Amino acid sequence: MLLVAIGQSKMVKRPLAGIMHILIYAGFIIINIEVLEILLDGITGKHTIFSFMGSFYSFLITSFEFLAVGVIVACVTFLIRRNIGRIKRFWSREMTIGPRSDANFILIAEIALMCAFLLLDTSDTLIQRAANPQYEGFAISNFISTFFTSTGLSSLHFIERFCWWFHITGILIFLNYVPYSKHFHIFLSFPNVYYSKLEPKGEFNNLDSITKEIQLMLNPSQVPADNAPAPPGRFGAKDVFDLSRKQLMDAYSCTECGRCTSSCPANITGKLLSPRKIMMDTRDRLEEVGRNIDKNGEFKEDGKSLLGDYILPEEVWACTSCNACTEECPVNIDPLSIITDIRRYLVMEQSAAPKEIALMLTNVENNGAPWQFPASERLNWHKICN
């Protein structure tokens, strides 16, 4: 978690986007220290309540201002890349007007908040300088203040008060919006990475229900007749109820960056599969189930499921299980685990595997190998070659 979530180590695999994201990430975390001061100033009625720290305080605020400029530059760059550069991964079929608008709103909101922060410092600097010409101010606000030299004191007070209220109310509104947007990942990415899979990516989990069934098949005497095992639950996943909490947290941790989809060989070659869509569909179905429960007090069957209504069998069978998506994800989301569980349901509950896979499974069952000949003939190729 320290390396991936806090250290942003996987973001910089794509240097431009990675560095820009780190600027925004650092701005979101560090500038909140200044937000705390602004809030305490409003509550106590004091001015720059942390200024008792002297030169260190000046260093901090100057650093915050430079960081705010960096956040503005990064957000503007991202807006240009998304809407003018029209990078392919931001215009895939699952990126409808809703997800695109969500991303644009967040970027514009961050620009507005950072501008309000800088204008607040600038107007306050000029107000303080009017009362004390020796007041030094801070680097960026001093530069911006050169454009406001002819602004009257009353106007400066209005700008200062307006930016204070705009900044505080803007942050509080933004915090309420976060759980309804893809930006929820700023809270969930840390626990999501903490609970991410530590085993090798190619290692699939074993289902206890299947293991018990096989053990019983091989040795029925292990289970006393008067203590028959309970019927196994559903094999694999058909709906969000069949997914683990980690898989559901994966869905809410997704920021829809599209790195998984842009690295997916199935998607690159024109297949229907998009790992990002798998996560977005899971989240959409989960929210639909949540609204159902809120309305009825408990879940009432709605005739829908994740498989079929959101994710098509063609999508999950296009996956090559290469793990490119899980390797690429900056917060260790694992779309393959959901794909695998849906495949298990299709094979073990519906016997709905594609004919090539069904043939391979039959061969494994009958011959102990994926080929259509018995084990006794496996070395015949050697005789032919000789």
CATH hierarchy code of domain 208-353:
1.10.1060
Average pLDDT over residues 32-47: 83
For the stretch 94-99, contacts whose Cβ atoms lie closer than 8 Å and that sit 24 or more positions apart, written own/partner, are 94/274, 94/276, 94/277, 94/280, 95/256, 95/258, 99/182, 99/256, 99/280
Contacts of 368 (CB under 8 A, 6+ apart): 375
Distance CA 49, CA 207 (A): 58
Residue 24: what are its φ and ψ, rounded to 5°? -65, -40
Degrees (nearest 5) of the Cα angle 15, 67, 99? 60
Q: From its phi and psi, is residue 17 left (phi > 0), alpha (psi between -120 and 50) or beta? A: alpha
Amino acid at position 223, single letter: V
Look at residue 226 and tell me whether its pLDDT is greater than 70. Answer: no
Task: Give the range among 14-18, 189-193, 202-206, 331-335 with minimum mean pLDDT.
Answer: 202-206
Residue 245 in this model has a pLDDT that exceeds 60: yes
Which residues are within 8 A (CB) of 68 and not within 5 positions of it... i.e. 6 or more apart? Answer: 27, 31, 114, 117, 118, 140
Give whole-number Cα distances, 33 to 49, 55, 159, 206, in Å: 12, 17, 22, 46
Q: Which two tokens stand for residue 237?
A: 């996943």
pLDDT tens-digit series, residues 117-130: 999 989 988 998 88
CB 133 within 8 A of CB 166: no
More confident of the two residues 135 and 304? 304
**Alpha-carbon span 194 to 177, nearest angstrom:** 25
Q: What is the pLDDT of residue 214?
A: 76
Could you report the per-residue pLDDT of 186-204, keeping only the tens digit for each? 899 999 999 998 888 878 8
Residue 262 Cα distances to 92, 202, 328, 331, angstroms: 10, 20, 9, 16
Neighbouring residues of 347: CB distance < 8 A, sequence distance ≥ 6: 236, 353, 357, 361
Q: What is the mean pLDDT of residues 30-49?
A: 82
Q: Mean pLDDT, to the nearest integer, of 3-15?
A: 90
Q: What mean pLDDT is predicted for residues 332-360?
A: 91
Instruction: Among 21-30, 216-225, 242-251, 314-323, name the one with the lowest average pLDDT.
Output: 216-225
pLDDT digits (tens, 9 = 90+) for 46-62: 877 888 888 888 888 88
Judged against a pLDDT cut of 60, whether residue 228 lies above it is answered with no
- Domain coordinates in residue numbering, the chain: 2-180, 208-353
Q: What is the mean pLDDT of residues 61-66?
A: 89
Mean pLDDT for 24-46 is: 83
